[in-house]
Amino acid sequence: MTLKLCAIGEPMIELAPVEGGLYRQGFAGDTFNTAWHMAQVLGPRARVGMVTRLGRDSLSDAFAAEMAADGLDLSGVVRDDHRRMGLYLIELDGVERSFHYWRETSAARHLADDPAVLERALARASLIHLSGITLAILSPTARETLFAALGKARAAGARIAFDPNIRARLWSSPTVLRDTLTAVLRHVDIALPSFDDESAHFGDASPQATLARFHAAGVAEVVVKNGAGAVHHSAGQTDTPPVAGIRDTTGAGDAFNAGYLAARVTGCPMDAAVRAGQALSAIVLRHPGARAPKSALSAHHG
């Protein structure tokens, strides 16, 4: 039976700088990056889709067409007559990147407005992936709607994966940030935090402290990403191999999530899944942008 995997969140229009002061238009977004890589890695073994909202404009159409061409499932995508996709622009200063966002009127902010539509999109899913950005863009009421839908999906057999992916400026206050990211954990089976985020916003002194805090919150499976440092997880510790030829760190954590989750849903133990996540992340690190070229992925899995 083909697995159904869902990623909930906000795909965005990306404007990335190229030579001559010009920009290249593409599409990205944390949970979308993860879903896209899972779809490429798993191929016909899974039906991977986004649960989101798009507009009815030509850019939303182009994104939907690209999703379909790359093998993603569109059944969880709702079209909005009044809003469009959010947009961000990448600014480079040497190799350092900063981001400028236009997402206040994004259709994806309303992805959880209709409980019945949301529940249908998540029905019969084996795995549901979301992030702190998913929660941050929703209204408090919509967050509760999402939590209720996750609870129903989980009761029906879905596993919930969560990357806190903390972006402080998306939250109304540090308190709301911490309270919401703690509240969602009661619905989570697999947590994929990054130690630098958790240290900055929750005061964790070490990756082991992050691991212990998520376990204490009731999450059974925890994987603490730590850049080039070792990955601490519920089954132990896995060293991170050095990566030569790093060109761009954008999307590396999203790719790790994809490799890890794809390995877990196909039956790999945690240590092997961490290594699969590291391998996919390394491919992304060696290429510009948040998603690896298909040629690099096919060479890796070929």
Q: Which residues have a catalytic role annotated?
A: 254
Helix (H) or strand (E) holding 50, with range, is strand 46-54
Alpha carbons within 13 A on the beta-carbon side of 265: 29
Q: In degrees rounded to 5, what are phi and psi of residue 106?
A: -65, 135
Rg, C-alpha atoms of the chain: 18
8 Å CB contact between 85 and 106: yes
Q: Which of 279, 284, 239 is nearest to 263 (CA)?
A: 279
Tell me the H-state helices in the chain: 30-42, 58-69, 115-122, 132-136, 140-155, 174-183, 195-202, 207-216, 252-265, 270-285, 294-301
The SS3 call for residue 108 is helix
Q: Which of 116, 109, 185 is nearest to 154 (CA)?
A: 185
- Give dist(CA 116, CA 123) in Å, integer: 10
The SS3 call for residue 100 is strand
